[in-house]
């Protein structure tokens, strides 16, 4: 506690850095994965290559990816762009499959009914498929949110500052309190963003609550 | 791009493979270390997960553990264990075990849980003992999901084992961190590519095992699938 | 009661003819399955035609050709002489009511919003459409207190009624029904069929419905078309005609004519005529 009160300013700065690195990749991967997942769900021919491709992406370890990406895209090794690109790729690796599953979970007879009542293709997507895919999509998004927040810390070993810096600093200078603070704050941030996802979903999908209460 | 070419050259340079303590050795270390972690995780996780799936007791704990563990930063565990246990293999082993255990547990639990209760009831009704139900009915049917859990554990461990070199002198993380420290980026990138390839190979092996398990659990599934997709009517929207 | 808003206001519509004509329609899927083989039929205006057959008879495919959910490989479907393929799919569908098994309701919208779907798509204000929806709910025998519930909170029979209300919301001249009451238990089904008959007496739509249940076809259809595989017409006629003179063994076995359930006899009990089925079990009393 003593350590924390003396270093409150630094910890606050690292926390802000951490949020700045975690939130964009979560949103970006959602934005990219929803259309890709819809494509995969709608076309058996696209499904396999899309899902295997993004699935293999997940197999690439994070630390090496943080090093391969700057080499490929010409970013500098320690730039936030590296981190955000890598984490967006990871997010997509999980979310494309999640979104494909989500869109496949929309019952065929509901799509049929919506088409029969004269929804256009576009209207069907926005007002029927997307809301109904919501619950399954949410569960993948929550996984991506939590693991992104946790993965951001890995960047600290190549010098990208985040709450992970508390680990590398604490280890080199032999300060337990620094590492423990980092672990606790990372978990807290992960759960806070997760809770935010759940709240947003509850607001956007009121029928979910009504039905589960019934 | 130049860096990429240099990295490939570094990978192909026989000098980096020849001497003892070089790349071949690193790969073996990396695999052996990761394998040991996954084995221990399996030895703990599969029996516990299976038991919970079979009895249905302790479900809440499993769900809490798996979602909580995902939020735990491995680098944090690694460094704190490193401070407590000192430099060596123990700290990374423990940190990676914490990483590997939840997917194995969840896989074993979800696999057994997903077996149709009616099937289990029928097995009990025709007089199988609980042990026979577990080994003869639940485990074979749950196998694909259990292998799935092992797969994601193995993948994460192999990826994350690179971090182990941050506090101990082992595996493919070593050339990676050495390159970082000495600014030999081609070495760093070369090692990274090697880890990525290793992970991909292991992933593909597991995919094969998993689909073999799936075929054994549901032999008729493949055919049904085809029949269905053929007959499905297209709606013009 | 029938001055529910949204339906009144177009009284002349009922006088307009609404004839659906299938002319040699054929449907073959890319994998070579023939669902419908050169089928022709005229559905007269303001009448209820039941297409009945087992699964694989192509009956649902025929129904979906009318609102272009499926386009025939050859042949034409026309409404009042206009080929439906010359019409815009989306507009066509909004102009035709469609009732699906289990209602086909959108699970994420409240009952009132479900009923208001088509009027809102057509640009009516949501508030007006919802107000109209309440009238329609009453019309199909539902308590308007259900308006703000979600479909999953209703019973099967209630969902089915909402499905009918939704189909009527844009006051279409044509109603297509796909196994409309297939998902509810027999008692509720009988009740829904009776209400549907009363409703039709009032609104006089041109209705095509498909079912595998010959009893439902007889209960609702002015005309019944019995289909074999590939939508080949085995027999076509009024229910009584088909019962009295099944064209062949296929139709006879399909309608169950000659079996215990359909063959009724009269037996005198305590001076009254009691009707019994082929097994001698009483089914009712004859009034003279």
Does residue C29 belong to the interface with chain B, where contact is any CB pair within 8 Å? yes
Contact criterion met (CB below 8 Å) for C97 and C176: yes
**Is C5 domain-assigned?**
no
Q: For residue A146, give the nearest of B71, B185, B196 by CB distance.
A: B71
Distances (CA, A) of C104 to A113, C136, C217, C220: 5, 17, 21, 20
pLDDT bin (cut points 50, 70, 90) of residue B191 is: confident
List, in order, residues 6 or more apart from C238 with CB less than 8 Å away: C222, C223, C224
Integer Cα distance of C37 and B221 in angstroms: 32
Same structural domain for residues C281 and C238? no
**Nearest CA of chain C to the CA of B197: how many Å?**
41
Integer Cα distance of C118 and B62 in angstroms: 46
CATH 1.10.3720.10 for domain A2-213, yes or no, is: yes
C282 DSSP β-pair partners = C276
How many beta-carbon contacts under 8 Å exist across B and C? 17
Same structural domain for residues C149 and C60? yes
pLDDT tens digits along C15-66 = 567 899 999 999 998 888 888 999 999 999 999 999 998 888 889 999 999 9
Integer Cα distance of B63 and C161 in angstroms: 41
Instruction: For residues C193-219, give the mean pLDDT.
Output: 90
Contact criterion met (CB below 8 Å) for B44 and B150: no
Q: Which two tokens stand for residue B24?
A: 């071949």
**Quick check: B159 and A61 CB within 8 A?**
yes
Does residue C98 belong to the interface with chain A, where contact is any CB pair within 8 Å? yes
**Nearest CA of chain A to the CA of B70: how many Å?**
6
List, in order, residues 6 or more apart from B193 with CB less than 8 Å away: A64, A68, B7, B8, B11
Does residue C55 belong to the interface with chain B, where contact is any CB pair within 8 Å? no
Hey, which residues 36-75 in chain C have their CB within 8 Å of chain A? 67, 69
Contact criterion met (CB below 8 Å) for C67 and C87: no
CATH number of residue B170's parent domain: 1.10.3720.10
pLDDT tens digits along B69-95 = 888 999 999 999 999 988 888 899 999
**Nearest CA of chain A to the CA of C160: how many Å?**
13
**Quick check: B67 and A176 CB within 8 A?**
no
**Is B227 domain-assigned?**
no
**Nearest CA of chain A to the CA of B1: how many Å?**
6
The predicted structure's pLDDT at residue C3: 39
Q: Which two tokens stand for residue C178?
A: 């796909």
pLDDT tens digits along A5-52 = 888 889 999 999 999 999 999 999 999 999 999 999 888 888 888 888
Q: Which two tokens stand for residue A155?
A: 């960047």
Does residue C107 belong to the interface with chain A, where contact is any CB pair within 8 Å? yes
Same structural domain for residues C79 and C117? yes
Distances (CA, A) of C97 to A127, B169, B235: 20, 73, 17
Q: Is the pLDDT of residue C271 over 90?
A: no
**Quick check: C93 and A211 CB within 8 A?**
no
**Is C3 domain-assigned?**
no
Q: What percent of chain B has pLDDT over 70?
A: 90
Residue of A nearest to B4 (CA): A71
Integer Cα distance of B153 and B171 in angstroms: 18
Burial of C137 (0-12, 13-18, 19+ CB in 10 A): buried
**Is B233 domain-assigned?**
no
Residue of A nearest to B66 (CA): A143
**Is B1 domain-assigned?**
no
Which residue, among B26, B71, B84, would best test binding to A if mutated, counting the most A CBs under 10 Å from its CB? B71
Same structural domain for residues C210 and C283? no
Q: Which helix (H) or strand (E) holds C262?
A: none
The residue among A137 and B218 whose pLDDT is bigger is: A137
Q: Which helix (H) or strand (E) holds C76?
A: strand C74-79
Same structural domain for residues C226 and C98? yes
**Is B234 domain-assigned?**
no
Q: For residue C31, give the nearest of B230, B235, B236 by CB distance.
A: B230
**Is C4 domain-assigned?**
no
The residue among C157 and A62 whose pLDDT is bigger is: C157
Distances (CA, A) of A77 to A29, A165, B175: 22, 16, 17
Contact criterion met (CB below 8 Å) for C265 and C276: yes
CATH number of residue C182's parent domain: 3.40.50.300
pLDDT tens digits along C109-143 = 899 999 998 888 888 898 999 999 999 999 888 99
Q: Which two tokens stand for residue C155?
A: 């019973």
**CA C279, C283, C288: angle at the middle one, nearest 5?**
120
Does residue A116 belong to the interface with chain C, where contact is any CB pair within 8 Å? yes
Total domains, chain C:
2
Question: What domain range is C266 assigned to?
Answer: 258-288
**Nearest CA of chain B to the CA of A138: how many Å?**
14
Does residue C88 belong to the interface with chain B, where contact is any CB pair within 8 Å? no
Contact criterion met (CB below 8 Å) for B108 and A208: no
Does residue A72 belong to the interface with chain B, where contact is any CB pair within 8 Å? yes
**Is B52 domain-assigned?**
yes
The predicted structure's pLDDT at residue A1: 63
Question: What domain range is B26 assigned to?
Answer: 21-215
CA C175 to chain CA centroid, Å, is 7
**Quick check: C106 and A110 CB within 8 A?**
yes
Integer Cα distance of C210 and C59 in angstroms: 6
Integer Cα distance of A187 and A140 in angstroms: 18
Q: Which residues of A touch B229 (CB under 8 A)?
A: 44
Q: Is the pLDDT of residue A148 over 80?
A: yes
Short-list C107, C123, C115, B109, CA closest to A214: C107
**Is B165 domain-assigned?**
yes
The residue among A116 and B17 whose pLDDT is bigger is: A116
Contact criterion met (CB below 8 Å) for C273 and C284: no
Burial of B7 (0-12, 13-18, 19+ CB in 10 A): buried
Q: Is the pLDDT of residue C259 over 70?
A: no
Short-list A24, A13, A64, CA closest to A145: A24
The predicted structure's pLDDT at residue B20: 59
The full DSSP string for chain B is -HHHHHHHHHHH-THHHHSTTSHHHHHHHHHHHHHHHHHHHHHHHHHHHHHHHHH-TTHHHHHHHHHHHHHS-HHHHHHHHHHHH-SSSHHHHHHHHHHHHHHHHHHHHHHHHHS-HHHHHHHHHTT--HHHIIIIIIHHHHHHHHHHHHHHHHHHHHHHHHHHTTTSS-STHHHHHHHHHHT-HHHHHHHHHHHHHHHHHHHHHHHHHHHHHHHHH-TTHHHHHHHHHHHPPPP--
The predicted structure's pLDDT at residue C5: 41
Contact criterion met (CB below 8 Å) for C146 and A214: no
The predicted structure's pLDDT at residue B21: 58
Phi, psi of C272 (to 5 degrees): -115, 160
Instruction: For residues A190-194, give the mean pLDDT.
Output: 94
Integer Cα distance of C122 and B210 in angstroms: 50
Contact criterion met (CB below 8 Å) for B104 and B41: yes
Residue of B nearest to C93 (CA): B237
Residue C152 DSSP one-character state: G
Most confident region among A203-207, B44-48, B201-205, C199-203 by mean pLDDT? B44-48
Q: Which chains touch B (3 or more CB pairs under 8 A)?
A: A, C
Hey, which residues 95-114 in chain A have their CB within 8 Å of chain C? 107, 109-110, 112-114
Residue C74 DSSP one-character state: E
**Is B43 domain-assigned?**
yes
**Nearest CA of chain C to the CA of A123: how many Å?**
9
Order of strands across the sheet that contains C20-28: C34-43, C20-28, C74-79, C82-83
**Quick check: A63 and B80 CB within 8 A?**
no
Same structural domain for residues C130 and C271? no
Short-list A179, A158, A181, A178, CA closest to A62: A158
pLDDT bin (cut points 50, 70, 90) of residue C256 is: confident
Same structural domain for residues C173 and C277? no
**Nearest CA of chain C to the CA of A10: how many Å?**
46
- Residue B138: CA count within 13 A, CB half-sphere: 29
**Quick check: C61 and B236 CB within 8 A?**
no
Contact criterion met (CB below 8 Å) for C246 and C237: no
The full DSSP string for A155-190 is GGGGT--STTHHHHHHHHTT-HHHHHHHHHHHHHHH
The predicted structure's pLDDT at residue A207: 81
Total domains, chain B:
1
Same structural domain for residues C192 and C274? no
Same structural domain for residues C251 and C281? no
Same structural domain for residues C113 and C241? yes
Q: Which two tokens stand for residue B232?
A: 């499905």
Does residue C209 belong to the interface with chain A, where contact is any CB pair within 8 Å? no
pLDDT bin (cut points 50, 70, 90) of residue C1 is: very low
Short-list C39, C141, B191, CA closest to B199: B191
Does residue B163 belong to the interface with chain A, where contact is any CB pair within 8 Å? yes
**Quick check: A110 and C107 CB within 8 A?**
yes
**Quick check: B235 and A180 CB within 8 A?**
no
Does residue B32 belong to the interface with chain A, where contact is any CB pair within 8 Å? no
**Quick check: B163 and A154 CB within 8 A?**
yes
**Quick check: C107 and A116 CB within 8 A?**
no
Q: Is the pLDDT of residue A187 over 90?
A: yes
Collapsed DSSP state (helix, strand, coil) of residue C267: strand
The residue among A210 and A195 whose pLDDT is bigger is: A195
Q: Which residues of C touch B230 (CB under 8 A)?
A: 31, 33
């Amino acid at each position: 506690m003593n350590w924390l009160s003396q270093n409150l300013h630094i910890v606050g700065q690292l926390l802000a850095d951490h949020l700045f690195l975690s939130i964009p990749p979560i949103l970006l991967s959602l934005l990219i994965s929803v259309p890709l997942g819809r494509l995969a769900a709608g076309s058996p021919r696209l499904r396999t290559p899309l899902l295997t491709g993004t699935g293999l992406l997940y197999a690439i370890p994070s630390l090496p990816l943080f090093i391969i990406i700057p080499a490929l895209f010409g970013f500098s090794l320690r730039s936030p762009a590296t981190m955000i690109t890598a984490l967006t790729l990871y997010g997509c690796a999980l979310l494309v499959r999640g979104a494909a599953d989500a869109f496949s979970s929309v019952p065929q007879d509901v799509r049929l009914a919506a088409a029969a009542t004269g929804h256009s293709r576009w209207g069907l997507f926005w007002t029927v498929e997307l809301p109904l895919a919501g619950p399954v999509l949410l569960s993948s998004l929550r996984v991506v949110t939590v693991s992104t927040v946790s993965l951001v810390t890995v960047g600290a070993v190549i010098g990208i500052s985040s709450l992970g810096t508390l680990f590398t600093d604490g280890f080199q200078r032999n300060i337990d309190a620094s590492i423990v603070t980092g672990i606790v704050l990372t978990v807290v941030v992960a759960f806070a963003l997760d809770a935010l996802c759940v709240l947003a979903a509850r607001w956007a999908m009121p029928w979910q609550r009504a039905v589960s209460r019934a | 791009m130049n860096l990429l070419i240099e990295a490939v050259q570094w990978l192909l340079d026989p000098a980096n493979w020849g001497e003892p303590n070089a790349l071949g050795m690193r790969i073996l270390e990396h695999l052996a270390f990761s394998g040991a972690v996954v084995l221990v995780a399996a030895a703990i996780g599969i029996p516990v997960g299976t038991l919970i799936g079979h009895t249905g007791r302790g479900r809440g704990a499993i769900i809490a553990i798996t979602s909580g563990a995902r939020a735990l930063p491995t680098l944090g565990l690694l460094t704190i264990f490193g401070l407590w246990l000192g430099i060596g293999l123990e700290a990374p082993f423990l940190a990676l075990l914490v990483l590997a255990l939840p997917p194995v547990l969840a896989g074993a639990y979800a696999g057994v849980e997903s077996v149709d209760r009616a099937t289990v009831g029928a097995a009990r009704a025709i007089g199988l003992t609980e042990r026979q139900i577990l080994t003869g009915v639940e485990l074979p049917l749950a196998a694909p999901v259990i292998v799935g859990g092992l797969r994601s554990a193995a993948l994460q461990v192999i990826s994350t084992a690179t971090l182990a070199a941050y506090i101990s002198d082992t595996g493919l993380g070593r050339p990676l961190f050495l390159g970082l420290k000495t600014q030999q980026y081609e070495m760093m990138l070369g090692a990274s590519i090697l880890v990525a390839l290793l992970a991909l190979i292991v992933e593909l092996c597991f995919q094969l095992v998993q689909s073999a398990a799936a075929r054994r659990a549901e032999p008729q599934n493949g055919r049904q699938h085809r029949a269905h997709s053929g007959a499905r009517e297209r709606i013009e929207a | 009661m029938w001055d529910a808003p949204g339906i009144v206001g177009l009284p002349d519509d009922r006088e307009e003819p609404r004839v659906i004509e299938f002319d040699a329609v054929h449907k073959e899927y890319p994998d070579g399955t023939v669902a419908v083989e050169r089928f022709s039929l005229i559905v007269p205006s303001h009448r209820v035609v039941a297409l009945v057959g087992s699964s694989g008879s192509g009956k649902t495919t025929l129904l979906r050709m009318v609102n272009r959910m499926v386009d025939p490989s050859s042949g034409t479907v026309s409404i009042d002489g206009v080929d439906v393929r010359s019409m815009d799919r989306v507009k066509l569908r909004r102009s035709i009511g469609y009732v699906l098994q289990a209602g086909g309701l959108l699970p994420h919208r409240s009952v009132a919003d479900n009923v208001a779907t088509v009027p809102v798509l057509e640009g009516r204000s949501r508030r007006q459409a919802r107000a109209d929806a309440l009238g329609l709910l009453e019309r199909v025998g539902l308590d308007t207190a259900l308006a703000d519930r979600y479909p999953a909170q209703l019973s099967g029979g209630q969902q089915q009624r909402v499905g009918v209300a939704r189909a009527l919301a844009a006051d279409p001249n044509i109603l297509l029904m796909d196994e409309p009451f297939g998902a509810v238990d027999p008692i509720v089904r009988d009740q829904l069929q009776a209400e549907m008959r009363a409703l039709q007496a009032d609104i006089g739509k041109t209705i095509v419905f498909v079912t595998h249940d010959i009893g439902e076809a007889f209960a609702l259809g002015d005309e019944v078309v019995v289909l074999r595989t590939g939508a080949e017409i085995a027999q076509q006629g009024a229910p009584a005609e088909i019962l009295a003179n099944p064209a062949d063994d296929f139709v006879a076995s399909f309608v169950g004519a000659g079996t215990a359930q359909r063959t009724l006899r009269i037996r005198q009990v305590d001076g009254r005529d009691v009707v019994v089925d082929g097994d001698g079990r009483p089914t009712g009393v004859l009034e003279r």
